[in-house]
Amino acid sequence: MKKSTIKGNGGTNTQTDMGSTKEWVNRTLKEIHKRMVELFGVDFTYFRDVKIINHSDILKQIMQRMRDDLIENGVMYSEIQWKQILESLSKNQIPGFFENLAFYNPKDEVLYMSEKMITDHTEKMIPVCTHELSEKLLSTYLSLPLKTPIRALVEAYIEVKKTNNRRRFYKLLNTYAAIIFKNVFKEGCCEAIALQTLHHIGSEMKTASLEKELLVGHSKCIDVLFDLEEAKRNIECMEKSQTRLNEKRQRIRAEDEDKLVREIVGSSQTIKGISYYLGYPLAKAVLEKYGIKGVKLALEKYPPLEAQYFANPQAYLAKLEELAAFTE
């Protein structure tokens, strides 16, 4: 098996195989988990297991999780349809998205890590996995789980196929756009919780470097949220347009709708790969001012659904304080 070089707790470089790497990651994350519980006062369980898997297995795990979620909600696809979805996801991912990926599945409580990250990007292992601990903390702390963007999009397509109801389709796409904003904020919250934890346990230099990377990425990527917002406005305009059209105009309108759908799907695929950058500054501002209780309130009752809030966190903080009456 390919060897990797990791930095151990003593600060020296150590050659290790995947088995000992998993052992070291597991031991380190258990200590981080303990500190996270103390820091945020949320008593959540650690992962049942940690598994290191390759690119194709990571994709299969993600697909199975999405499939299980849909089946639970009464949505069934044929094997051919799932194969098409898998091919679509494989072709439309951000380059390198799966290489630096770790995620945990709430169904089996297992943390899955990309083998590619361990062999080629060892410096990202602990920050990425600490983010997953933050995801687990939030899943315990929030009253209801947030619907994932991919699941929402699949449901939108299924709905329009069943009913051929354009108005319903517009409504679902608008809902989908809102879900994107919520998930960007949630991912930012996870990153803010992770970085605050790493800073708390004495990783100031690593935290500063990670935060700089996040802020630079945010400044380069923020326009994609405004683009998504513009596409959402275009959908709302089309929804309000006349419904009685001649055949030619109906065809043109359908082409415009397809174009909008492609734009939103394209935007969401891009946003998925950069959501940490986009959501971090706003989430950090909420966490620092109101703590974990503020994060919960923002996610569950007053989520930021406008691009301007991600570009200007202070505007959202003012709105949040007004809505939630934090000054009481």
Tell me: the pLDDT tens digits for 89-100? 555 554 455 556
Q: How confident is the model at residue 279 (pLDDT cuts 50, 70, 90)?
A: very high
How many domains does the chain contain in total? 2
- Say what the pLDDT of residue 194 is: 95
Q: Is the pLDDT of residue 15 over 50?
A: no
If asked whether residues 268 and 231 sit together in one domain, one would say yes
Task: Report residue 16: phi and psi, to 5°.
Answer: -150, 155
Confidence of residue 67 (pLDDT cuts 50, 70, 90): confident
Q: Which residue has the tokens 């006062």?
A: 41
Query: Angle at Cα 299 formed by Cα 59 and Cα 35, nearest 5°?
Result: 75
More confident residue, 244 or 204: 204
Predicted local distance difference test score (pLDDT) of residue 10? 41
Report whether pLDDT(232) > 50: yes
pLDDT at 33: 96
Residue 163 and residue 97 share a domain: no
Based on the fold, state whether residues 171 and 319 are members of the same structural domain: yes
Q: What is the mean pLDDT of the chain?
A: 77
Task: Average the pLDDT over each of 44-53, 125-134, 258-267 and give the range with the smallest value.
Answer: 258-267
Whether residues 320 and 178 fall in one domain: yes
* Residue 96 and residue 184 in one domain: no
Domain boundary among 91, 116, 141: 141
Q: Is the domain of 126 the same as that of 157?
A: no
Residue 186 reports pLDDT greater than 70:
yes
Same domain, 226 and 92: no
pLDDT attached to residue 188? 96
- The range of the structural domain enclosing residue 27 comes to 1-141
- The last residue of a domain, from among 98, 120, 141: 141
Last-in-domain residue among 81, 112, 141: 141
pTM: 0.77
1 and 37, same structural domain? yes
136 has a pLDDT exceeding 80 = yes
113 and 168 co-located in one domain: no
- For every residue of 13-61, DSSP letters joined together read EEEE-HHHHHHHHHHHHHHHHHHHHHHH----PPPSEEEEE-HHHHHHH
- Regarding whether 127 and 175 lie in a shared domain, the answer is no
| DSSP reduced 3-state for 103 | strand
Most confident of 8-22, 63-77, 82-96: 63-77
* Beta carbons of 6 and 121 less than 8 angstroms apart: no
- For the cut 50, the answer to whether the pLDDT of residue 315 exceeds it is yes
Q: What does the pLDDT average to over 65-76?
A: 66
Confidence of residue 264 (pLDDT cuts 50, 70, 90): low
CA-closest candidate to residue 156, choices 141, 175, 134: 175
Asked if 100 and 236 sit in the same domain, the reply is: no
280 and 328 inside one domain: yes
